[in-house]
Amino acid sequence: MNPGPARPVPVVVLASGSGTLLQSLLEACDDPRYGLQVVAVGADRDGTLALERATARGLPTFVVRLGDHPDRTTWDRALAESIARHDPAVVVSAGFMKILGPRVLERFTVVNTHPALLPSFPGAQAVRDALTHGVRVTGCTLHVVDAGVDTGPIVAQRAVEVVEGDTEETLHERIKTVERTMLVEELPRFVEHSARPH
């Protein structure tokens, strides 16, 4: 097995909730051969478990609340500045429940995980929508974030079967398990081939 780079590639993670995707990435980064390092975690609200996970590991955190700014443009500018302080090669949106604006997207390469096989079922209710439509297979997607809602170039996808009796909660839990593995396995490949030079 080839050793990782002497200096790990810096990653900023944005998360709004429990941070299970973040946790999987942090655990992967514990292996120096992984080649990436989470250097900061940002959120759009205080008191999230994702921030607690970062703090427990001694990582810098930042919170940029939309309500603290007069409009989305100002918020977008503040978020971009907060990310820039940590000089990431790539930004991971891992359950970050805000649409990113042009100041972030023009300045950074951002990837996002989504609990459906895009372009099917974009948006915040992807798992519910898949069940409503009666699909037998759904899954998760890693994609580059662009100005649309879940419309950016697809990096990777993994399928998850819908089983008899699935609820939104049971299906989403199985998707999350696959989503975490996909992010950990595919992010280094994406960074190696696609991220802007650091």
Per-residue pLDDT of the chain (198 residues; tens, 9 = 90+): 455 445 899 999 999 989 999 999 999 999 999 999 999 999 999 999 999 999 999 999 999 999 999 999 999 999 999 999 999 999 999 989 899 999 999 999 999 999 999 999 999 999 999 999 999 999 999 999 999 999 999 999 999 999 999 999 999 999 999 999 999 999 999 998 875 544
Query: pTM for this one?
Result: 0.92
- Examine the residue annotation and report whether 143 is marked as an active-site residue of this protein: no
Task: Kindly name the residue from 69, 86, 114, 143 that is annotated as catalytic.
Answer: 114
Which residues partner with 143 through β-bridges?
112, 154
- Residue 151 sits at φ, ψ, to 5 deg, of -115, 0
Alpha-carbon span 64 to 108, nearest angstrom: 17
Alpha-carbon span 52 to 153, nearest angstrom: 31
Alpha-carbon span 178 to 171, nearest angstrom: 11
Residue 6 has a pLDDT of: 58
Q: Secondary structure of the chain: what % helix, strand, coil (to 5)?
A: 40, 20, 40
Residue 198 has a pLDDT of: 41
Residue 2 has a pLDDT of: 52
* CA-closest candidate to residue 78, choices 50, 107, 57, 55: 107
